[in-house]
Chain A
Amino acid sequence: MTELTEPLFKKAVVELLYQLADDDFILAYRGSEWLGLAPHIEEDVAFSSINQDTMGHAAMYYGLLEQLGEGDMDTLSHARGISERKNAVLLELPNGSGHYLKEPRYDWAFTVVRHFYYSHAKKVKLESLKHSSYEPLAHAAVKISMELYYHLMHWTVWFNQLMNAGGEAKRKMLEAISRVEQDFLDVCSLGPLSAEMASLKLIDGDDALMQAFHENMKPVFDALFIPYKGEFQQHSGKGRYGEHTQELHQALATLTEVYRTDPAAAW
């Protein structure tokens, strides 16, 4: 195992952990905004459970950062500014128009597609992380994969059912796919230190991960008789480089409101 005392190794580990933590953290938050609004009660139960797991995964990564001396995990998750956040921009985008307290016109197709694509990308990264040269991260990957297994099953059912439904459902799904693909490159990116991450064997390189992602997605589309283009962009910004939208600013303001009333409180 490469030593943490080697500055570049530690820098790359920290960078990677922030991406993984911030991705799960913000998407779990967006998911939790659906509470009480999901299409049916069973989905409310399932989605809440998925969000809770996902927040747990973020906590696990923030915990690893805490062990590396980055600060306490509540501060890391709640008190970092928007330009310090490393999550992919796609994951911070709102669930739709309106506000969750007033007239939420949330888009279920967008949510299903975003979660389905994200779960697949997360799976590809975790499979690679199981062999990471940073052992604590390899152990975390094994644990998280066991929970992601069910998330992926869940979103696969929704994805296939809505795509097979035809009519308005299919139209909205196809729109959501284009929308998600416009910003999916950012989700697959490992940011400014990707070459170092790969050479230090922390995780496979961007290209290998992307190839694995396409190999998993293509059969899904083939089975639905829909051409799979797999051409992704980063239309709304590069989250791994600290570029974010106003939406993240809003989301952080809301989700850290309770934290900011008493940062020292134990939860």
Chain B
Amino acid sequence: MTWYAGLSFEEKERIEKALQSVKDPEIDSISVLELGMVERAELCNGNLTLFLLPTFMGCPALDIIKSTILKAFTNIEGVKETNVLFIHHPPWTSDRISEKGKGKLKEFGIAPPMQKNDQTGEWQAACPYCDSFYTTLDNLFGPTACRSILYCKSCKNPFEAMKPVSTWM
């Protein structure tokens, strides 16, 4: 199911535009929509309820995201009041990041979530600078809960990658 199920085309367009303006406070090139955080939008008599999935539970950016959303929706046609609710089901997983979102992460110098190599069982990420897979994981835990620190042996740059999270874990 898509987040805009039940909305008319015009409503969807307007809400989508406002949501696109709400960026991750820690990676300001990617929107909450591209990160896959928006699960559902319900509009009823001008009351908008947005159901969001937190990426990581201890993420300190959630309050900022909420207030940015409320600001972004103060002047949207057809929306009188906005409510933001964080829910945990379904859980956010890193495969919810859209293709466009992955491109924006890369522009910011962050590789998309590492992939598990089926043969070796090792995590792999391509360097966001030179696209080489000749990289090593330096620290699973990066500067924020959702990122890891890696090192590219080809171009000798450190870089970050989104930490993969999946329900099998």
A147 touching B91 by the CB < 8 A rule?
no
A46-B139, A46-B141, A150-B141 in contact; A145/B58 too (CB < 8 A)?
no
Classify chain B: how many residues form its interface, as a range: 20 to 34
Hey, which chain A residues are within 8 Å of B56, CB to CB? 53, 56, 147
Bitwise, A44-67 to B at CB < 8 A (1) or not (0) is 011111101111110110000000
B17 adjacent to chain A (CB < 8 Å): no
Least distance between B5 CB and chain A CB atoms (Å): 21
A57 to B56, CA, bound (A): 10
A49-B145, A140-B88 in contact; A149/B169 too (CB < 8 A)?
yes
- Can you pick out 24 interface pairs between chain A and chain B where the beta carbons lie within 8 Å of each other? A42-B138, A42-B139, A45-B139, A45-B141, A46-B139, A46-B141, A47-B141, A49-B141, A50-B141, A54-B58, A56-B56, A56-B57, A139-B88, A139-B89, A139-B91, A140-B88, A142-B91, A142-B167, A143-B57, A143-B88, A147-B145, A149-B165, A149-B169, A150-B163
What 17 additional pairs, Cβ within 8 angstroms, besides A45-B143, A56-B58, A56-B59?
A42-B139, A45-B142, A49-B141, A49-B145, A53-B58, A53-B145, A55-B58, A56-B145, A57-B58, A60-B57, A145-B169, A147-B57, A147-B145, A148-B169, A149-B169, A150-B141, A154-B140
Q: Residues of B at under 8 Å CB distance from A?
A: 56-60, 88-89, 91, 93, 138-145, 149, 163, 165-167, 169
